[in-house]
Amino acid sequence: MKPARRSRQQIQALLKLREFILTGVFEPGERVSELAVVDKLGISRTPVRLALTMLEHEGYLETLPGGGFRVQDFSPEDVQDAIDIRGMLEGMAARVAAERRPDTEALATISETVEALDRVVRGDTPAGWLEPYIELNEAFHNQLLDLADSSMIRRSLAHIESLPFASPNAFVLVGVEVGEQAEILRYGQMQHRLIVEAIAQGEGARAEALAREHARLARRNLRLALRRGDLLKQVPGASLLRHDTDTAKRKA
């Protein structure tokens, strides 16, 4: 029955559960017990339990006082704040990178990424540009972290980005659906350029401000998506958003 499973059960459980939560199989606010998950996944309690606590640390779940877990829900303000926090951390990364005064060689990798992004954004290939853009965008953010070379920044960023809607690429798809998409994309790309430029010139404060402002693009797209519900479907983790119909605690 189970000789096939040689991969880690715990990872399986984690992936499946995350998928279930993200796709709305488990609704926000819903209580989820070990047993229910065991029945649903066919994995025994030990790895399931481990996966549940991992999801708790990732922010998807919270423990209930009486034991068991509950699917976390998020307000629009929460999403906004998460994006802001990412922006601040990336800003700090840019500043730290600038203060190290990296030479041209150290900047080579990220410069290549910026140029590749240039080609994508300016490119006349309207079809199939999305995939590489997302990939390069993520690469840019990773390479910015590499330049800062701070395990603490890395750690905090990883923590906030474990919330899917806080990642740099979360709202790219929203922009796509909107007419001004091309202009926004070019604007963001200019920011990429200027961030690297500021770092190269050791302008820490400027690099920080640019990176922070860069994250505001995501906030802009968030507002767009909130106004046009159909756009929300493009955002990973949108199902975790609290339904406004809930008369739940606005304020504790």
Partner DNA sequence: GACCGCTCCATTGCATGCAGGCTTCGCGTT
Partner DNA sequence: AACGCGAAGCCTGCATGCAATGGAGCGGTC
104 binds its own copies (CB under 8 A): no
Residues 177 and 221 sit within 8 Å (Cβ to Cβ) = no
SS3 163: coil
Q: Which is nearer to its own copies, 88 or 178 (CB)?
A: 88
Partner residues linked to 241 by β-bridges = 74
What residues between 142 and 181 interact with its own copies by CB under 8 A?
A: 149-153, 155-156, 159-160
Report the C-alpha gap between 115 and 133 in whole angstroms.
Answer: 12
Question: What is the Cα–Cα distance from 225 to 246, expressed in whole angstroms?
Answer: 19
Core vs surface per residue 76-101: b (16+ CB within 10 A) or e = eebbbebbbbbbbbbbbbbbbbbbee
Question: Hey, how many other C-beta atoms are within 10 angstroms of the C-beta on 195?
Answer: 29
Q: Per-residue x/- marks for DNA, 37-56, CB under 7 A?
A: ------xxxxx-xx------
Stretch that binds its own copies, among 35-43, 84-92, 117-125, 224-232 (CB under 8 A): 84-92
3-state helix, strand, coil in the chain (%, to 5): 65, 5, 30
# of chain residues touching its own copies (CB under 8 A)? 27
Question: At its nearest, how many Å lie between DNA and the CB of residue 245?
Answer: 24
How far from chain centre, in Å, is Cα 105? 29
Question: Does 73 engage in binding with its own copies (CB under 8 A)?
Answer: no
Cα Dmax for the chain? 62
User: CB-wise, 67 or 179, nearer to DNA?
Assistant: 67
What is the nearest approach in angstroms of DNA to the Cβ of residue 41? 9
73 binds, among DNA, its own copies, none (CB under 5 to 8 A by kind): none
Lay out the site mask for DNA across 66-95 (x = CB under 7 A, - = otherwise).
Answer: xxx---------------------------
Q: Which two tokens stand for residue 229?
A: 């519900």
Q: Which of 15, 19, 29, 33 binds DNA (CB under 7 A)?
A: 33
- Which residues of this chain interact with its own copies, rule CB under 8 A? 46, 50, 53-54, 57, 59, 77-78, 81-82, 84-85, 88-89, 92, 96, 149-153, 155-156, 159-160, 251-252
Q: Which residues make up the interface to DNA (CB under 7 A)?
A: 2, 5-6, 8-10, 33-35, 43-47, 49-50, 65-68
